[in-house]
Amino acid sequence: MWSKTMLVVFINIVFIHCLSVNIGAAVANPAASDGRFVHHGFTAEDLTMDGLAAVTPTGLLALTNATYQTKAHAFHPAPLRFLNTSSSAAATVRSFSTSFVFAIVSDDPRFRNNVDHGLAFVVSPTKNLSTANAGQYLGLLSMADDGKPSNHVFAVELDIITNPEFGDIDSNHVGVDVNSLRSLQAKTAGYYVDGDGAFRSLQLNSQKPMQVWVDYDGQAKQLNVTLSPVQVPKPKKPLLSQAIDLSTVMAEEMYVGFSSATGVVFTHHYVLGWSFSFDGGAAPSLDFSMLPKVPRVGPTRRSVMLYVVLPIASALLFLVAFVLGVFFFVRRWHRQYAEVREDWEVEFGPHRFTYKDLFHATQGFTDKNLLGAGGFGSVYKGVLPVSNTEIAVKRVSHNSRQGMREFIAEVVSIGRIRHRNIVRLLGYCRRKGELLLVYDYKTNGSLDKCLHDNATSTTLCWPKRIHIIKGVASALSYLHKDWEQVVIHRDVKASNVLLDSEMNGLLGDFGLSRLRDHGADAKTTYVVGTMGYIAPELMHTGKATPLTDVFAFGVFLLEVTCGRRPIGESDSNEILLIDWVLKHFLSGSILDVVDPRLAGRFSFEEVNLVLKLGLMCSHPLPKARPSMDRVVKYLDGMLPAPELSPTHMSYNMMELMLQNGVGSHSLPVWSSLLDSSVGTMSSASVLSDGR
Ligand SMILES: *[C@@H]1O[C@H](CO)[C@@H](O)[C@H](O)[C@H]1NC(C)=O
Ligand SMILES: *[C@@H]1O[C@H](CO)[C@@H](O)[C@H](O)[C@H]1NC(C)=O
Ligand SMILES: *[C@@H]1O[C@H](CO)[C@@H](O)[C@H](O)[C@H]1NC(C)=O
Ligand SMILES: *[C@@H]1O[C@H](CO)[C@@H](O)[C@H](O)[C@H]1NC(C)=O
């Protein structure tokens, strides 16, 4: 019983509640339909359309499409009550606000200006505008009824053509129309910037979406129309403000919507969003991010850029880049491998290497392949591409063409020399300002390095030294006497003796000094050779002879035996090796000069012989020096060891050098030799100080 009552009460409560909700909804609906609406894009149900008007799949209201002289209308389906009938007196018009976003797109950019018609926001007593004309009538009115008060049509036109019959101000204007297309007031499209109030004009058919506000104050009987680009919030100052009493225009029920018409140019009129409200409430604002996008049609400026200019430009750019690339590549290739070739070189063809081969053989002359850098240039190790021959490439910078022919002839001729103690010159290559000489590669580097480089831990033992000495002697003897012509080496020294894997000494670097002879400054005949190895008479006359080679060989013998450089220090004095050895020779302490690193492990006879020969060969008077032929015989024991009388040997090489060499004209000689000599910088300064 109790529960039954409770149930009835409960049901009643639920029923009443539902009823009240239903009543609420019933009350809310007419309120909602009373003018206020907002559309971000449209569906077909949102609008009553005729003519060309259609809603696109993206929700865009496309009033017109590419069709000539046709109308389009789209109305809010329900009629709106604009009149305030509650007042007993004459009816007044309710305040209203509407806002919409539109875009006008002309297919053909050539006709952007002037040629087609616009669209209008319209308030009309009927949705049936079938009698209206297209074209300049915007589908609003007909030629027959234009201007008649019976039309009851109010419109805000966005016109993009000048119609003189309606007194249009220009081809890009906003106008207020009542019953006629002759506007009550019209203004060139644009807006007033908030703040400074500056006017910015806008192109209605620019394809860009723009927003329009139409606000009517029923009390003040004032109509405001405002326009702005969608990015700009509603400007405070309206584009046009018109005092107007719409009460004579408005009928009991009115329809709001849009009207548009095409002329002879394909133009699209789009409405993207729309809101409306009555009675002083601002039209609901539109959220642009929710609006559909305006489609790009026809060859717009941007698409012309995109599809015509850009591809052509990029193709051109690519072509130019490609041609430039090829050009620079070829030029670089050409430069990288460029050589100097002259007609006379044809006969030396077989001895000529291409720079490209040498470049690749030495891996582009990388530092990794650098064997050493001396006075005449840098030497690189390489492997010839096809034959896999190991080579040493000497790059000599040489800027003069003078004497080049003779030099190359000599290089080629020397290249034919086959002797087991002579480094084979395989050929050459010429480039601008540069000469490249290609030699057989010798695994153990130069004797100079072996002898003086403390980094090499193993000391060259005496048997190896005498072996090397004999080898170099036989090479020089061969050059002086046995070869088809007399060849003067001109630069015998430890660093020009290379060692192969079996520690054979091979004489290399022929005639380079000769090249120096024909240096850039032809007026100065530089004495060539290397400080400390230069015979006094060579200093004096500048003429190289086999005996100047013998002198250098004498110094070389002393150097190898003593393990000292030709010019060195002793008792903190700069002295010539020759003088130092001679001093010990004369004082009977000759064994004191022998390289202490040999630690006494040597044959006394051999050392004695070599030192004696060294002194003999480096005698200041050329006539007192033996020929290389004889030197070889002494070394081989085919001639008894020569005797040196102390009187015969009473000279001081340093003094002789100073007397002969450092004359007033020959200071440049010394300085010019600095770069090509080993350890001569200090001695040269001492020598000049010594004057
Ligand atoms: C334009 O719209 C009309 C009516 O909807 C249609 O018949 C016509 O095919 C359309 N034309 C173009 C080019 O889209
Ligand atoms: C209608 O008019 C009366 C008197 O003129 C006014 O008081 C009232 O607010 C108006 N109503 C609307 C909805 O404008
Ligand atoms: C529109 O009005 C015309 C006459 O003015 C009439 O012939 C036509 O049927 C009407 N159309 C609609 C859809 O009511
Ligand atoms: C129209 O604009 C003026 C300022 O230019 C303003 O005072 C007035 O309130 C506006 N009226 C409406 C209905 O927006």
For the Cβ of 366 lying below 6 angstroms from any atom of ligand 2, the answer is no
Helix (H, G, I), strand (E, B) or coil at 92: strand
Q: If you search the block for the tokens 């200071």, which residue do you land on?
A: 667
Label residues 658-670 b or e (16+ Cβ within 10 Å = b): bebbbeeebeebb
How many whole angstroms separate alpha carbon 680 and alpha carbon 672?
A: 11
Over the chain, what is the mean pLDDT?
Answer: 79
Indicate whether 113 pLDDT > 60: no
What pLDDT, on the 0 to 100 scale, is given for residue 676?
35
Q: How many CB atoms lie within 10 A of CB 682?
A: 12
Closest atom of ligand 3 to CA, residue 131: 5
User: Is 394 flagged in the annotation as binding?
Assistant: yes
How many whole angstroms separate alpha carbon 148 and alpha carbon 134?
A: 18
Nearest CA to ligand 4 atom 7: 237
Label residues 578-596 b or e (16+ Cβ within 10 Å = b): bbbbbbbbeeeebeebbbe
How many whole angstroms separate alpha carbon 423 and alpha carbon 673?
A: 24
How many whole angstroms separate alpha carbon 115 and alpha carbon 554?
A: 107
What is the torsional sign of CA 570, 574, 577, 582?
Answer: negative
How many whole angstroms separate alpha carbon 274 and alpha carbon 37?
A: 8
Strand partners, 568: 575
Alpha carbon separation from 142 to 74, 117, 151, 251, 479 (Å, rounded): 18, 15, 10, 20, 120
More confident of the two residues 272 and 170:
272
Q: If you search the block for the tokens 């894997």, which residue do you land on?
A: 501
Known catalytic membership, residue 46: no
Indicate whether 277 pLDDT > 90: yes
Per-residue confidence band for 102, with pLDDT thresholds at 50, 70 and 90: very high
Which amino acid, one-letter code, is at 238?
P
The pairing of beta strand 54-55 with beta strand 61-62? antiparallel
Q: How many CB atoms lie within 10 A of CB 375?
A: 17
Contact 364, 354 (CB under 8 A): no
CA of 289 to the centre of ligand 4 (A): 28
Indicate whether 365 pLDDT > 70: yes
What pLDDT, on the 0 to 100 scale, is given for residue 453?
77
The pairing of beta strand 119-124 with beta strand 71-75? unpaired
Q: How many CB atoms lie within 10 A of CB 284?
A: 17
Percent of the chain with pLDDT over 90: 29
Nearest CA to ligand 2 atom 10: 84
- Best mutation site among 81, 84, 216, 279 for ligand 2, i.e. most ligand atoms within 8 A of its Cβ? 84
Closest atom of ligand 1 to CA, residue 54: 5
Per-residue confidence band for 402, with pLDDT thresholds at 50, 70 and 90: low
pLDDT per position as a tens digit, 224-249: 999 999 989 999 999 999 999 998 89
How many whole angstroms separate alpha carbon 13 and alpha carbon 625?
A: 143
Nearest CA to ligand 2 atom 1: 84
CA of 244 to the centre of ligand 2 (A): 18
Contact 96, 35 (CB under 8 A): yes
Ligand lying nearest the CA atom of residue 223: 4
* Stretch (H or E) spanning 127: none
As a whole number of Å, the end-to-end CA separation of the chain is 147
* Residue 81 DSSP label: -
Helix (H, G, I), strand (E, B) or coil at 391: strand
What pLDDT, on the 0 to 100 scale, is given for residue 111?
56
Q: Which DSSP string do the residues of 436-479 spell out, in sequence order?
A: EEEEE--TT-BHHHHHH-TTS-SPPPHHHHHHHHHHHHHHHHII
pLDDT per position as a tens digit, 118-131: 899 999 999 999 88
Task: Identify which of 263, 96, 93, 91 has the alpha carbon closest to the alpha carbon of residue 171.
Answer: 263
Which amino acid, one-letter code, is at 53?
A
Helix (H, G, I), strand (E, B) or coil at 381: strand
What pLDDT, on the 0 to 100 scale, is given for residue 522?
33
CA of 218 to the centre of ligand 2 (A): 9
How many whole angstroms separate alpha carbon 339 and alpha carbon 350?
A: 16
Task: Identify which of 494, 496, 534, 536 has the alpha carbon closest to the alpha carbon of residue 512.
Answer: 496
Cα-flanking dihedrals φ and ψ of residue 84, to 5°?
-90, 100
What pLDDT, on the 0 to 100 scale, is given for residue 220?
92
Contact 362, 386 (CB under 8 A): no
Indicate whether 631 pLDDT > 90: yes
* Residue 538 DSSP label: H
What pLDDT, on the 0 to 100 scale, is given for residue 465?
93
For the Cβ of 297 lying below 6 angstroms from any atom of ligand 1, the answer is no
How many whole angstroms separate alpha carbon 588 and alpha carbon 259?
A: 131
Helix (H, G, I), strand (E, B) or coil at 649: coil
Helix (H, G, I), strand (E, B) or coil at 642: coil
How many whole angstroms separate alpha carbon 228 and alpha carbon 214?
A: 12
Instruction: Tell me the residue length of the chain.
Output: 691
What pLDDT, on the 0 to 100 scale, is given for residue 374?
63
* Stretch (H or E) spanning 162: none
Give the CA radius of gyration of the chain: 55
pLDDT per position as a tens digit, 570-582: 555 667 888 888 8
CA of 129 to the centre of ligand 3 (A): 8
For the Cβ of 54 lying below 6 angstroms from any atom of ligand 1, the answer is yes
More confident of the two residues 398 and 371:
371
Among the residue ranges 349-358, 471-480, 499-508, the one predicted with the least confidence is 349-358
Query: 629 exposed, middle or buried (CB, 10 Å; 0-12, 13-18, 19+)?
Result: middle
How many whole angstroms separate alpha carbon 67 and alpha carbon 149?
A: 31
pLDDT per position as a tens digit, 20-44: 333 333 333 333 346 789 999 999 9
Question: Which residues contact ligand 4 via a Cβ below 6 A?
Answer: 215-217, 222, 224, 237-238, 241
In the chain, what are the domains? 33-279 (2.60.120.200), 323-441 (3.30.200.20), 448-688 (1.10.510.10)
How many whole angstroms separate alpha carbon 586 and alpha carbon 449?
A: 30
* Residue 306 DSSP label: I
What pLDDT, on the 0 to 100 scale, is given for residue 349?
67
* Stretch (H or E) spanning 120: strand 119-124
Which two structure tokens, joined as six digits, stand for 409? Answer: 């002839």
How many whole angstroms separate alpha carbon 332 and alpha carbon 446?
A: 35
The pairing of beta strand 185-188 with beta strand 173-178? antiparallel
Helix (H, G, I), strand (E, B) or coil at 178: strand
Contact 674, 681 (CB under 8 A): yes
Ligand lying nearest the CA atom of residue 247: 2
What pLDDT, on the 0 to 100 scale, is given for residue 121?
96
What pLDDT, on the 0 to 100 scale, is given for residue 495?
83
Which residue is catalytic, options 168, 215, 491, 549? 491
More confident of the two residues 253 and 310:
253
Cα pseudo-dihedral 341, 346, 352, 357, rounded to 10: 60
Ligand lying nearest the CA atom of residue 35: 2
pTM for the full predicted model: 0.47
Kindly state the greatest CA–CA separation across the chain.
Answer: 161
pLDDT per position as a tens digit, 140-185: 898 888 889 999 999 999 998 888 888 888 889 999 999 999 999 9
Contact 68, 265 (CB under 8 A): no
Per-residue confidence band for 451, with pLDDT thresholds at 50, 70 and 90: confident
Query: 184 exposed, middle or buried (CB, 10 Å; 0-12, 13-18, 19+)?
Result: middle
Q: Which DSSP string do the residues of 341-364 spell out, in sequence order?
A: --GGGGGGGGGBPPHHHHHHHTTT
CA of 57 to the centre of ligand 1 (A): 15
Cα-flanking dihedrals φ and ψ of residue 687, to 5°?
-60, -40
Task: Identify which of 227, 211, 224, 254 has the alpha carbon closest to the alpha carbon of residue 91.
Answer: 254
What pLDDT, on the 0 to 100 scale, is given for residue 339?
75
Closest atom of ligand 2 to CA, residue 94: 14
* Stretch (H or E) spanning 24: helix 2-33
Indicate whether 523 pLDDT > 80: no
How many whole angstroms separate alpha carbon 553 and alpha carbon 479?
A: 13
Task: Identify which of 495, 484, 515 has the alpha carbon closest to the alpha carbon of residue 417.
Answer: 484
Cα-flanking dihedrals φ and ψ of residue 489, to 5°?
-70, -40
How many whole angstroms separate alpha carbon 616 and alpha carbon 638?
A: 17
CA of 93 to the centre of ligand 2 (A): 9
Indicate whether 280 pLDDT > 80: no
The pairing of beta strand 377-383 with beta strand 370-374? antiparallel
Indicate whether 687 pLDDT > 50: no
How many whole angstroms separate alpha carbon 226 and alpha carbon 212?
A: 6
